[in-house]
Amino acid sequence: MEGGARLVDITNTQSLPYPDCNDPGDGALDLQVLAEAIDAKLVASFANFRAIVNRPAFIVGLLANQTGFASGSTADIVWDNVIWDSTTIGVGVGSGITFTDPGYWMLGCWISSVPSGGVTANSKLLIRMSYRGDLYIPVGGVHTESTAAANFQSNTGGEDIVVTQLVRQEYDGVALPGTGGGSVTINLSHGNVASTLTVNSTSLVWGFKVCNLEDM
């Protein structure tokens, strides 16, 4: 039967080919088509599990202290140091940290700040983490979430605040590069009228993909 028409059956669930009962099953092609079919299944399975194990994640920081956060106003921290990045396209830094992989993401930040001079005792310090993500439907739609944590500046050793939140990111930004995906912004406001605040370079923003969206 080599080179001629062949009779092939397939298994019920994985559609793996094998010679039917009228075929002696001794042809090299029988093994090749089975090997190729198994190969395709395994390639897909490896890719699926590797996508989980090698989950996208990022850690972003500051190359230097960021100074001049004045009381009574809200200002974004501008990030400029990618410490770790395993996202598909790569994170973008700036006042918004952009990332594109869809899924449920855990985001967090540690903001370390210190007054540049005097301290207004018990003045409020607020760190807000805001997420903005583009939606598939409606086209051009935007999904936003934010959370915040506050503290009071009652000591001269500076303040350290941690904020975390889980977000759902739909649009991977691949179809329309530069227009899709999500971004996370950290802004700071405070009431320390005695001096401006400095955000220390030890501060970090991080994120990791927890799992796929339910329809992926």
Partner 1 sequence: MPGSTSLGIPYPYQGETVTAQSWEDLATAVDGLMTSLDTIRDLAESFETAQISGGSVSTATAVTATIANYSTTSWDTSGWVDLVTNPNQITVPPGLYFVNGYAFISGGTTYTMARLQIMAAGTPWAVRTTDGTGTSSLLLASVSGFVMCTAATTALTLSGRWVGTGGPATFSTARFQAVKIRALANV
Find out whether the peptide bond into 138 is cis, omega within 30 degrees of 0: yes
Rounded-to-integer distance, Cα 28 and Cα 21, Å: 17
Nearest Cα to 139, choosing from 176, 166, 104? 176
Asked if 151 touches partner 1 (CB under 8 A), the answer is yes
Asked if 206 touches partner 1 (CB under 8 A), the answer is yes
Binding mask 152-171 for partner 1 (x = CB under 8 A): xxxx-xxxxxx-x-------
Around Cβ 101, how many Cβ atoms within 10 Å?
23
Tokens linked to 22: 């009228």
Residue with Cβ nearer partner 1 (165 or 180): 165
**Binding residue for partner 1 (CB under 8 A) from 11, 14, 15, 32?**
32
Residue with Cβ nearer partner 1 (78 or 119): 119
Asked if 92 touches partner 1 (CB under 8 A), the answer is no
**Binding residue for partner 1 (CB under 8 A) from 8, 9, 14, 49?**
49
Residue with Cβ nearer partner 1 (112 or 116): 112
Sign of the dihedral through C-alpha 65, 66, 68, 72:
negative
Contact region for partner 1 (CB under 8 A) — 5-13, 39-47, 73-81, 180-188?
Answer: 39-47
Tokens linked to 56: 């996208």
